[in-house]
């Protein structure tokens, strides 16, 4: 399907606080085949309609955001590669004029088998979630014993010409410190970006998992004491902090949503697999878009609805007050 020819207001998307949004996180499914304790400890439990966005609907979402200045789209989930049409979606989104970065986040289960196909479809940035480099700990956290398979896939990905290959690790009290030296070794000789992410509260996060929360400031202090230096942010990097060290080929990022002023540099919006716009991962409601995703001729109305919704974006999340909004778990909106 060809991208529509746009006419009308194509100014960049902004909110009442002067923030612009060149980055869209597009969820393709709520399903996941892992059982991470902080997200889906009992596995994916279907609820309501499972009629997730079609290939054409994904293309129309991407075209609308690109027309309003978005240059980066991330395909996420759940586990997006559970979609049989995943590479079809990637290909049509990659072909949208104005999209320079097409990223994806995956648990890596199908990385070794399919990563070359993803790259050929147009994905140029890859994020792989690996919360522990110890096989036993990884199995406890995720319910899967696939760590070695995922690491082999990661090695393959580094040969395929991605603009960036990143590893995401949630900071967990009982695991991250134990794996610290192994994580550092991972980026010593490999051009990876290793990103540590504070465990975020959601409505379904158990009291047991809440005990795993640990401030990422400890990691920042540890990095600075070891000679890691801050790096300036790129245009679409958002609130992540980045650090480099002269002895390491890779770099380290920190995503600390409980830190002061974290939301000041917010630059991304989210569309769920059911076609709702979410202004914040921890927002109070979603804005229905799907009724305007059925025909190209509706897309000016689609963009107008997105602009209207942005007038209601809050200045910050309210995680500090224990308010996770309507987010039941991270897979529900796409993390």
296 pLDDT above the threshold of 60: yes
pLDDT of 227: 98
pLDDT of 285: 81
Which two three-digit tokens encode residue 12? 């960049």
66 pLDDT above the threshold of 70: yes
Question: Which of 9 and 237 is assigned the larger pLDDT?
Answer: 237
pLDDT of 261: 80
194 pLDDT above the threshold of 70: yes
Mean predicted confidence (pLDDT) in 297-325: 82
pLDDT of 293: 97
pLDDT in tens, 17-32: 999 999 999 999 999 9
Mean predicted confidence (pLDDT) in 183-197: 97
Average pLDDT, rounded, for the chain: 90
In this prediction, residue 214 has a pLDDT band, given cuts at 50, 70 and 90, of very high
Nearest residue to 135 (alpha-carbon basis) of 77, 178, 80, 81: 178
pLDDT of 318: 64
pLDDT of 207: 76
Mean predicted confidence (pLDDT) in 302-317: 91
Sole residue written with tokens 């401030």: 215
Question: Which of 37 and 194 is assigned the larger pLDDT?
Answer: 194
Q: Is the peptide bond before 78 cis (omega within 30 degrees of 0)?
A: yes
pLDDT of 225: 97
Nearest residue to 176 (alpha-carbon basis) of 225, 212, 211: 212
Q: Which residues contact 240 (CB under 8 A, 6 or more apart)?
A: 195, 233, 253, 254, 255
Mean predicted confidence (pLDDT) in 165-183: 96
Which two three-digit tokens encode residue 192? 């990876």
188 pLDDT above the threshold of 80: yes
Sole residue written with tokens 């996180």: 25
Element (H, E) at 288: strand 287-288
274 pLDDT above the threshold of 60: yes
Q: Give dist(CA 332, CA 335) in Å, integer.
A: 8
pLDDT in tens, 77-86: 999 999 999 9
324 pLDDT above the threshold of 60: no
pLDDT of 107: 98
Q: Give dist(CA 233, CA 70) in Å, integer.
A: 17
Q: Give dist(CA 332, CA 328) in Å, integer.
A: 7
The domains located in the chain, with CATH, are: 23-166+262-332 (3.20.20.70)
In this prediction, residue 333 has a pLDDT band, given cuts at 50, 70 and 90, of confident
């Amino acid at each position: 399907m060809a991208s529509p020819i746009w006419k009308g207001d194509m100014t960049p998307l902004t909110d009442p606080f002067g923030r612009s949004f060149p980055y869209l996180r597009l969820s393709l499914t709520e399903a996941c085949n892992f059982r991470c304790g902080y997200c889906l400890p009992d596995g994916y439990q279907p609820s309501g309609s499972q009629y997730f966005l079609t290939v054409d609907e994904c293309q129309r979402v991407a075209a609308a955001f690109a027309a309003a200045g978005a240059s980066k789209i991330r395909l996420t989930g759940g586990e997006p590669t559970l979609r049989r049409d995943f590479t079809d979606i990637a290909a049509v989104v990659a072909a949208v004029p104005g999209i320079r970065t097409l990223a994806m986040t995956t648990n890596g289960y199908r990385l070794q088998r399919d990563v070359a196909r993803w790259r050929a479809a147009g994905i140029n940035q890859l994020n792989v979630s690996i919360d522990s480099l110890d096989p036993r700990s990884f199995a406890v956290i995720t319910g899967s014993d696939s760590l070695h398979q995922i690491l082999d896939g990661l090695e393959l990905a580094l040969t395929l010409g991605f603009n960036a290959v990143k590893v995401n690790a949630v900071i967990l009290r009982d695991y991250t410190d134990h794996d610290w030296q192994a994580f550092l070794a991972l980026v010593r000789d490999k051009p990876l970006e290793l990103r540590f992410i504070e465990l975020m509260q959601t409505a379904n996060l158990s009291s047991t998992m809440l005990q795993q929360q640990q401030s990422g400031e400890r990691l920042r202090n540890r990095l600075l004491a070891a000679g890691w230096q801050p790096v300036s942010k790129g245009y679409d990097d958002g609130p992540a902090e980045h650090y480099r060290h002269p002895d390491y080929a890779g770099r380290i990022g920190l995503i600390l949503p409980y830190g002061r002023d974290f939301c000041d540099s917010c630059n991304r919006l989210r569309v769920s697999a059911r076609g709702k716009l979410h202004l914040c991962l921890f927002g109070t409601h979603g804005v229905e878009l799907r009724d305007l995703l059925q025909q190209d001729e509706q897309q000016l109305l689609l963009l107008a609805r997105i602009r209207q919704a942005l007038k209601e974006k809050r200045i910050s999340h309210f995680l500090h007050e224990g308010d996770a909004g309507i987010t039941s778990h991270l897979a529900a909106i796409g993390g």
